[in-house]
Amino acid sequence: MVLPSSFELAPAERKDIPMLARIHVIACLPDNAFALYFATAAKFEKCVTVMLEEQVGDSTWRHIKAVDKKTRVLAAWASWNLPTEHQIRERDEKSAAKKIEAESGRAKGEFNFPPGLPSYVQEDTDRWLERSTRGKRHLLCKALFTDPLFQRQGMGNALVQWGNRLADELALPIFLQGSPFGYPIYKKHGFETVQHLDVDLREWAPDAKNNDKGYGIYRLRYMLRLSLTLPPNDTSTLPST
């Protein structure tokens, strides 16, 4: 028997940005790596807001929210990026010319990660993505957060399934970086771990080397879900020129 769900999914709008940023931050509070990413929760929220201002409404992004039917509260959200052929080609050309590292600016809509641990992780993820998606259309799942007050009600499952349906409609693979908190839900929905990065948080947390403060190895999983459908034609592979 399928139970009626207590929430509904809808595209997020620009007016939702403050709530999306708030949920992003509070969902990450138990994540001890994120605690090392930003000096304060306020700085974290500001950074997420700037990123969302550039993303929400852009044609290469999809932001989907889950709204609790009873209270009308926005309780969870997820986002996917669908880079255009032009954007992929531009990235590949820069990478071939080894210009990416030399550039100081970040791409529009990209998280402005502070130096240190966040940038180290981001650079490794970018290298993997660049290698894995060179010349190929793909989807990136970039965010998935449920307000802790609404967790374990199926919103995360429904959001991941929304993205998987989109990928199957477009016949595209989905790539993502899964945190230790996030990866079980992706595994459940057909994502495979294709690479991982083990980060020893004692190396990054202040004064943790000789007094580990409970920090240890934090595994980031680089995950892939292949489409269950075949591409309608060969548009998923871009010409090499």
Ligand X SMILES: CC(C)(COP(=O)(O)OP(=O)(O)OC[C@H]1O[C@@H](n2cnc3c(N)ncnc32)[C@H](O)[C@@H]1OP(=O)(O)O)[C@@H](O)C(=O)NCCC(=O)NCCS
178 makes contact with ligand X (CB under 6 A): yes
Closest CB to ligand X among residues 98, 152: 152
For 218, the enclosing helix (H) or strand (E) is strand 217-225
215: amino acid identity, one letter: Y
Beta bridge mates, 67: 8, 74
179 makes contact with ligand X (CB under 6 A): yes
Q: Which of 124, 154, 195, 238 binds ligand X (CB under 6 A)?
A: 154
Stretch that binds ligand X, among 5-13, 84-92, 142-150, 200-208 (CB under 6 A): 142-150
Q: How far is the CB of 154 from ligand X (least distance, A)?
A: 4
Look up residue 26 and give its two tokens.
């509070």
CB of 49 closer than 8 Å to CB of 21: yes
Q: Which of 106, 131, 188, 219 binds ligand X (CB under 6 A)?
A: 188
Helices (H), the chain: 17-28, 34-37, 41-55, 85-96, 117-133, 155-170, 183-188
Crossing angle of helices 17-28 and 41-55, rounded to 10°: 140
35 makes contact with ligand X (CB under 6 A): no
Closest CB to ligand X among residues 118, 156: 156
Closest CB to ligand X among residues 77, 236: 77
Q: Which of 50, 185, 208, 238 binds ligand X (CB under 6 A)?
A: 185
Stretch that binds ligand X, among 11-19, 54-62, 113-121, 182-190 (CB under 6 A): 182-190
Q: Which of 12, 17, 20, 27 binds ligand X (CB under 6 A)?
A: 27
**Structure letter (DSSP) for residue 3:** P
Closest CB to ligand X among residues 112, 157: 157
Q: Which of 144, 167, 172, 199 binds ligand X (CB under 6 A)?
A: 144
Closest CB to ligand X among residues 87, 153: 153
By CB neighbour count within 10 A (0-12 exposed, 13-18 middle, 19+ buried), where does 184 fall? exposed
Q: Which of 153, 161, 193, 195 binds ligand X (CB under 6 A)?
A: 153
Catalogue the long-range contacts made by 108-114 (C-beta closer than 8 Å, 24 or more residues apart). Answer: 108/54, 108/58, 109/51, 109/54, 109/55, 109/58, 109/60, 109/61, 109/81, 110/51, 111/47, 111/48, 111/51, 112/47, 112/50, 112/51, 113/37, 114/37, 114/38, 114/47
156 makes contact with ligand X (CB under 6 A): yes
126: amino acid identity, one letter: D
Considering only residues 93 through 122, tell me which ones interact with ligand X, judged by CB under 6 A. none
CB of 81 closer than 8 Å to CB of 109: yes
146 makes contact with ligand X (CB under 6 A): yes
Which residues bind to ligand X, rule: CB under 6 A? Answer: 27-28, 76, 144-146, 151-157, 178-179, 181-182, 184-185, 188
